[in-house]
Amino acid sequence: MTRLSGPVERLVRSRRARLLLAITLIGIGAWTFVPHVAYRIAPTAFVNAELVRVAAPMAGRLSRDLPRKGDIIEQAVTVNLTETLSPDRRHFLDLEEQMTVAKERASLAKRQLAEITELDGKLEIRAQSYQSGMVERIGQEIVEAEAEKTGCLAEVNQRRDVGSRMEQLVKSGLASPIRTAEAFATREATVTRCEVANAKIERFKIERNSALTGVFLRDGANDAPYSQQQRDRLFLRRQELETEILQQSSRQAQIVAEIAGERNRLEQTGRSDVLLHADHVVWSVAASPGSSVTEGQTILDLADCAHRFVVVDLPEREFEQIKTGETAAVRLIGSDDWKQGKIRRILGSAARTDDRLLAAQIVRPVSSSIAVEVELLQEGSNAERNSFCNIGRMAEVRFQRTGFGFADRFLSRLAGMFRDGPQAELKSAAAK
């Protein structure tokens, strides 16, 4: 038999070392057994999450900017989902045609208005020329009438002298009374003609004053010349054209608003956008970007990383001890970190199979067992890249038993003692 070296032999024969080894083995056994006493342990749980299914709202072509499988949506974002292949643009084209017609009618009315303005200027010149000519003509007629009146007055004076001489001749017996009567009659006729000339002058003055105001009293003038009458007609036509321009301008503004609304409608109906909420991961993509899809076809499945949970089976006798709202400890297989969870749902073995859309399949509870759903509480970021938020990963779940709260403290102290004590003892023995 090979003889052990001195320090090792002393360590093996040391009563303290053997006692420490026994305590260590007992501690390891207790470490293994105590969790089953202090907790209800479910070693076969797995991380799960609900899926949000995105379907095509209309037939069309998928956008090429769709997220890829495994992409993490860290912030809420709106993305273009589909675009229609042949949008209905009939109403839009009809509005554009109405817009063109309204523009043409307004342009035609403006051209007509410009032509009327030009023609009105010419007619105004003609009317002014006619008025000035008529006033000048009446003025000349007044001059003629005044000259006639002047001649008539001179003749009246002459007839008066002749009548006086005839009276003297009659008195002297050199002339017949009849000749005197004829002389007086001729003089009265001349006076009457002078009065007519005077009345004519007054009439001409009245016509001139009226002509100066634009009203002509001559026969056949209809109180205004033809050029002025045409200007009046053009004035009415100008008002009609201005009304037409105003109507067409208002119609254009209305059509512009309708075209803008129709364009927005085409953009909204021609493409569909979808709001992707934060803390989701693209679980699956059921259609290729850029391909054609039908209405209702599944496009994306998004897993809700913010509300992950695990489902474990426990004996049905534990139904009364497990309460909704209590906490549970969850550890992912391969990790040393225990995370806190919250019990949110308990189902008996006879409950209906879960019909939710889930990322991982939930096994129906077996006979005489219950299904406990534990939500994983958030601790920092719940979206781990390249791991699909740990969905589908196996986990171990512990439910605290009533009255065994001291077990955590005891096991923690025991772990600390075995972590520090054996190393210190070995160092002491080696030094001896």
Domain residues of the chain, as ranges?
Answer: 36-76+282-420, 91-252
* Cβ neighbour number for residue 87 with a 10 Å cutoff: 15
First to last CA, the chain: 24
- Show the tokens assigned to 389: 């938020």
What per-residue confidence (pLDDT) applies to 424? 44
143, two tokens: 């001059």
- Angle subtended by helix axes 406-431 and 6-13, to nearest 10: 140
Q: List the helix and strand counts (H, then E) for the chain.
A: 6, 14
CA distance readout (Å), 62 to 166, 284, 303: 130, 15, 21
- CA 350 distance to own-chain centroid: 52
Q: What is the pTM of this model?
A: 0.52
Cβ atoms 180, 166 nearer than 8 A: yes
pLDDT at 382: 46
What is the CATH superfamily name and number for domain 36-76+282-420?
Efflux pump adaptor protein, beta barrel domain (2.40.30.170)
Q: What is the DSSP letter of 350?
A: T
Q: Which DSSP string do the residues of 123-190 spell out, in sequence order?
A: HHHHHHHHHHHHHHHHHHHHHHHHHHHHHHHHHHHHHHHHHHHHHHHHHHTSS-HHHHHHHHHHHHHH
pLDDT of the residue at 243 = 92
Tell me how far apart the alpha carbons of residues 67 and 286 are, in angstroms, rounded to a whole number.
12
**Strands annotated E in 348-423:** 369-376, 394-400
3-state secondary structure of 53: strand
- Show pLDDT as tens, one digit a residue, over the chain (432 residues): 455 556 666 666 677 777 777 777 776 665 555 455 545 666 678 888 888 888 888 888 888 888 888 888 888 888 888 877 777 788 888 999 999 999 999 999 999 999 998 998 888 888 888 888 888 888 888 888 888 888 888 877 777 777 777 677 667 766 666 666 777 777 778 778 888 888 888 888 888 888 888 777 776 656 777 788 888 888 899 999 999 999 999 999 999 999 998 888 877 777 778 888 888 888 888 888 888 888 888 888 998 888 888 888 887 777 777 888 888 888 888 887 888 888 888 887 776 666 778 887 776 656 677 888 888 876 545 445 557 888 888 888 888 766 544 455 554 555 455 445 444 443 444 344
Task: Spell out the long-range contacts of 85-90 with Cβ–Cβ below 8 A and sequence spacing 24 or more.
Answer: 85/59, 85/60, 85/61, 85/292, 87/266, 87/269, 87/270, 89/266
